[in-house]
Amino acid sequence: MLSKNQQKYLRQLGQKKYRRQHHMFLVQGAKNVLELLQSDHDIDSVFASESFLAQHHQLLGSRLDARHIHQSDEGSLSKVSTLVTNNEVIAVAPMRDVTIQETSWQLALDGVSDPGNLGTLIRLADWYGFSQILLSPNCADPHNPKVISATMGSFTRVSCAIVDLPEYLQQLDKPVYGAFLGGTNVHHVEFAQQGVLVMGSESHGISEAVGQAISERITISGYGGAESLNVAIASGIILDNIKRCSG
């Protein structure tokens, strides 16, 4: 059972305002919570079904004090959860302080506001070995439960730094690649050994202010009728081309 206060607290963390206030966020579903437990990410508390607690007894005990582990039933958990299914466990984790990592290659997102897309992009960044994504302030909140769910655990390895992209990109002395319709075909681009890849939102592309900081405009050639590619797919294709050159 969850107490009324616990219910209220967990429901609050579904909203950005309260996540900021408490400096905490929700991790829902077994896959994501197990990734969290196996990572070096701090954990505040876990609310789980009897069977989840029994099955992961040891792992939980190694990471949390018993008084932060709460047994509940799936019915009660699904009432406070933002997921439709997969409600055997919810964890609460403290937000991390994020500083910008000056790695040789960086990925920046400008106005990617769909939480599912952002989560999938975090998972993609993890696949390609990025430990950070730079986000413009109008991207989806990286601690939104839908983002966390879509990362499939990659949120534990990839941090999101919210930055003023035009200002940040302007002062860099490495190439800044941006995806535009009508840029150079990505197959003809010789990517440098270091750089930044900037991807814009699906509906509006890269904003004008960010566009002024782009030194190389690139594009993925289409051959059919679709007007555009999903931003996560487009990012995957360009990152694969970058890895072909630099990896």
The smaller minimum CB distance to a second copy, of residues 1 and 226, is found at 226
Kindly state the smallest distance separating residue 233's Cβ from a second copy, in Å: 4
Q: Which of 27, 125, 134, 169 binds a second copy (CB under 8 A)?
A: 125
Strands 45-48 and 89-94: antiparallel
Q: Are 150 and 124 in contact (CB under 8 A)?
A: no
Q: Which segment (48-56, 126-134, 139-147, 175-183) binds a second copy by CB under 8 A?
A: 126-134
Q: Which segment (54-62, 86-94, 150-158, 174-182) binds a second copy by CB under 8 A?
A: 150-158
Q: Which of 128, 194, 209, 219 binds a second copy (CB under 8 A)?
A: 128
**C-alpha span between 48 and 51 (Å, rounded):** 8
**C-alpha span between 77 and 28 (Å, rounded):** 10
Alpha helix (H) ranges present in the chain? 4-12, 16-22, 30-37, 50-55, 57-63, 74-80, 115-127, 145-150, 165-170, 208-211, 231-246
The smaller minimum CB distance to a second copy, of residues 197 and 213, is found at 197
Residues binding a second copy: what is the number (CB under 8 A)?
37
- 219-226's contacts with Cβ under 8 Å and 24+ in sequence apart are 219/179, 219/180, 219/181, 219/182, 219/183, 219/184, 219/185, 219/186, 220/179, 220/185, 220/186, 221/185, 221/186, 221/187
Q: Tell me the per-residue interface mask from 151 to 190 with a second copy, x by CB under 8 A, - otherwise.
A: -xxx--x----------------------------xx---
Q: Note whether 56 binds a second copy by CB under 8 A.
A: no
Kindly state the smallest distance separating residue 72's Cβ from a second copy, in Å: 27
Q: What residues line the site for a second copy (CB under 8 A)?
A: 120, 123-131, 152-154, 157, 186-187, 220-230, 232-234, 236-237, 240-241, 243-244, 247
